[in-house]
């Protein structure tokens, strides 16, 4: 099962950098070993942290490898602690549900980039096409279709690629 979760900037960056390899969440859904977590960076509105907030566009994909449920080891019953490991987004087949969701998130991230970041993202996508020619490209985000359907996920070269 895929769980898409908003994540505050500090913990998000720690996960993206590989420093934080666990996720503590309310036990309000059925998490299981083998599930996929799509962690989306989320910035709360300063005046009201419970409001809608803003998604800057960064995200990471993680596999749940171990679960410690609430009630064990003094963990409150309404919480769950999950051990997670990063999944390289470029290794996810484009036609799977997760692959389709990644395409949407990449397109959203691309829309939020300034022109220089967008240029870097397209350059990285072209580099990946050379490095990994056997990968099936996505059908093309709106910005790729005019460019001949390069169609690779577009994130600027950064820690969010999990290579």
Residues 46 and 65 in one domain: yes
Which of 87, 118, 147 is the last residue in one of the domains?
Answer: 87
Which of 36, 65, 87 is the last residue in one of the domains?
Answer: 87
Residues 37 and 61 in one domain: yes
For residue 149, tell me if it sits in a domain: yes
Residues 71 and 45 in one domain: yes
State the pLDDT at residue 1. Answer: 93
What are the backbone angles phi and psi of residue 42, rounded to the nearest 5°? -135, 130
State the pLDDT at residue 29. Answer: 94
What would the pLDDT profile of 41-80 be if each residue is shown by its tens digit? 888 887 776 778 888 888 889 999 999 998 877 889 999 9
pLDDT at position 87 over 80 = yes
Instruction: Judge whether 16 and 60 are in contact, CB under 8 Å.
Output: yes
Residue 114 is part of which domain span? 97-161
State the pLDDT at residue 125. Answer: 59
DSSP 38-101: EEEE-B-BTTBTTS--B--S-EEEEEEEEEEETTSTT--TTEEEEEEEE--GGGS-TTSHHHHH
What would the pLDDT profile of 11-42 be if each residue is shown by its tens digit? 998 998 889 999 999 999 999 999 999 999 88
Query: Of the segments 37-41, 141-145, 159-163, which one has the largest average pLDDT value?
Result: 37-41
Give the confidence band of 139 by pLDDT, cuts at 50, 70, 90: very low
């Amino acid at each position: 099962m895929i769980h898409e979760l908003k994540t505050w900037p500090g913990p998000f960056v720690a996960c993206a950098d590989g420093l934080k390899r666990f996720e503590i969440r309310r036990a309000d859904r059925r998490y299981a070993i083998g599930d996929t977590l799509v962690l989306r960076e989320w910035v709360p509105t300063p005046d009201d942290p419970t409001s809608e907030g803003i998604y800057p566009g960064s995200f990471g994909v993680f596999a749940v490898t171990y679960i410690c449920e609430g009630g064990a080891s003094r963990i409150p019953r309404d919480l769950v602690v999950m051990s997670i490991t990063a999944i390289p987004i470029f290794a996810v087949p484009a036609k799977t549900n997760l692959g389709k969701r990644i395409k949407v998130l990449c397109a959203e991230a691309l829309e939020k980039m300034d022109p220089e970041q967008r240029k870097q993202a397209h350059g990285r996508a072209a580099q990946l096409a050379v490095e990994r020619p056997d990968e099936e490209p996505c059908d093309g985000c709106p910005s790729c279709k005019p460019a001949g359907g390069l169609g690779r996920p577009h994130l600027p070269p950064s820690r969010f690629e999990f290579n």
